[in-house]
Amino acid sequence: LSGGQRRRVDIARALVHQPKFLILDEPSTGLDIQTRNVIWDALLRLRQEQGLTILLTTHYLEEVEAADYVYIIDHGHLIAADTVSQLKSQYAYDTLSLDLEDPQALAQELASDYQVRLDGPLLKVDLKPEQSVWPLLDRYRPLIKHFEYHRGSVDDLFINLTGREIR
């Protein structure tokens, strides 16, 4: 059996006796994206239909999005514990990247109300959950050559909490 096939068999064996509580350590490591999606669809369906509780360790942070509650452990220390939405609202800001003629001038103007930083020719504006992107875009539309909007992610909150990307 290949590594991915072994992983599927391991998960199937763990589910045969219909447990109420399942501990999974890196369940999708080594799986192709299609197999990973099939396994997660099945696990989430079991969670919803049969009340299966899943304790999960993972390095694939996109898998954390489906969790009811998250513990982030860094170098053996618990550094955060909460729901995904609460953690994202505290540590993963949405970011508006603006390509402007004079980003420095607008950075100074916005600095009192927003967290701003210059990134080469771009002005990056971090938005708190209560701050909307639309007033900024409407007000400064004539100055904006191009913009990108990035929603805060679990990756962002992990980086903001630990100071580095996941290994």
> Band of the pLDDT at 166, cuts 50, 70, 90?
low
Q: Tell me if 30 is assigned to some domain.
A: yes
Kindly state the DSSP code that residue 142 receives in the 8-state scheme.
G
* Residue 53 CB neighbours (<10 A): 11
Q: Tell me if 165 is assigned to some domain.
A: no
Residues with Cβ within 8 Å of 92's Cβ and at least 6 positions away in sequence, in order, are 152, 153, 154, 156, 157, 160
- Do 103 and 67 share a structural domain? no
Predicted pLDDT at 29: 83
Range of the domain at 129: 93-151
Q: What is the mean pLDDT of residues 25-40?
A: 87
**100 pLDDT higher than 80:** yes
Of the two residues 148 and 4, the one the predictor is more confident about is: 148
- Do 100 and 78 share a structural domain? no
Residue 131 main-chain phi, psi, to 5 deg: -100, 125
pLDDT digits (tens, 9 = 90+) for 117-163: 999 889 999 998 888 999 999 999 999 999 999 999 999 999 999 98
CATH of the domain at 68: 3.40.50.300
pLDDT digits (tens, 9 = 90+) for 39-95: 889 899 999 999 999 999 988 888 898 899 999 999 999 999 999 999 998 999 899
Supply 152's token pair. 């805060």
Predicted pLDDT at 7: 83
**10 pLDDT higher than 80:** yes
> Band of the pLDDT at 165, cuts 50, 70, 90?
low
- Do 147 and 101 share a structural domain? yes
Q: Tell me if 159 is assigned to some domain.
A: no
CATH of the domain at 122: 3.30.70
Q: How many structural domains are present in the chain? A: 2
Q: Tell me the sheet residues that pair with 73.
A: 78
Which of 28, 52, 83 lies at the terminal end of a domain, its last residue? 83
Residue 95 main-chain phi, psi, to 5 deg: -130, 130
The separation between the first and the last C-alpha atoms of the chain, rounded to the nearest angstrom, is: 27
- Do 78 and 9 share a structural domain? yes
Q: What is the mean pLDDT of residues 5-11?
A: 85
Residues with Cβ within 8 Å of 155's Cβ and at least 6 positions away in sequence, in order, are 61, 165, 166
User: How far are the Cα atoms of 18, 51, 99 from residue 136, in angstroms, in the given order?
Assistant: 52, 44, 13
Kindly state the DSSP code that residue 28 receives in the 8-state scheme.
T
